[in-house]
Amino acid sequence: MSDLLETHRHSITGFELPVPVGWERSEEVEACALVAVEPARGDPHLRANVVVTLEVVPEDEDLEAWTLRSLASLRESLQEAQVLDVETLEISGVPARRALTHYLHADHGGAALEQWLLLHRGLGMVISCTTAALEYDDLFDLTHAIAEGLRLP
């Protein structure tokens, strides 16, 4: 795992996000603006990853409503998902929410999903950092540095 970060500038929207040096990166994954995945290790494990998604949000939907809708959809897509915490904060000078969810990964057991959700220029942006539940404490500082390093165009 690398604690060294380098800036990734999104080729279309121009947002910038620090990602660990040596992590695989792609802007070509369907429905994702960016996917960054830690290098494989020798043993089978849940590879820590960062996924950024963008969604056009209706003008009449505010951050709170969109956050609640987004978090509700986790229960439909993740096995045994439990939202543990939601916090109000700012990222890159924009109001945001940070949510911590625990779920059961089909192959690797407990997983921690930490998300930062914000609205900017009509788009809902979610920065999702997923780790094995038992590695969450070890990667807390790294995942927070990634999300808090977001720079919007």
Residues 93-121, mean pLDDT to the nearest whole number: 96
**Is 59 part of a structural domain of the chain?**
yes
CATH at 69: 3.40.1000.10
**Is 89 part of a structural domain of the chain?**
yes
The tokens for 80 are 């045994």
Task: State the Cα–Cα distance between residues 125 and 13, nearest whole angstrom.
Answer: 11
Give tens-digit pLDDT for 30-72. Answer: 999 999 999 998 888 899 999 999 999 999 999 999 999 999 9
**Is 10 part of a structural domain of the chain?**
yes
User: Residue 98: which domain range?
Assistant: 5-148
The tokens for 99 are 């949510």
Count how many domains the chain has.
1
User: DSSP code of 29?
Assistant: S
pTM (predicted TM-score) = 0.94
**Is 153 part of a structural domain of the chain?**
no
- In a 3-state reduction of DSSP, which class is residue 134? helix
**Is 93 part of a structural domain of the chain?**
yes
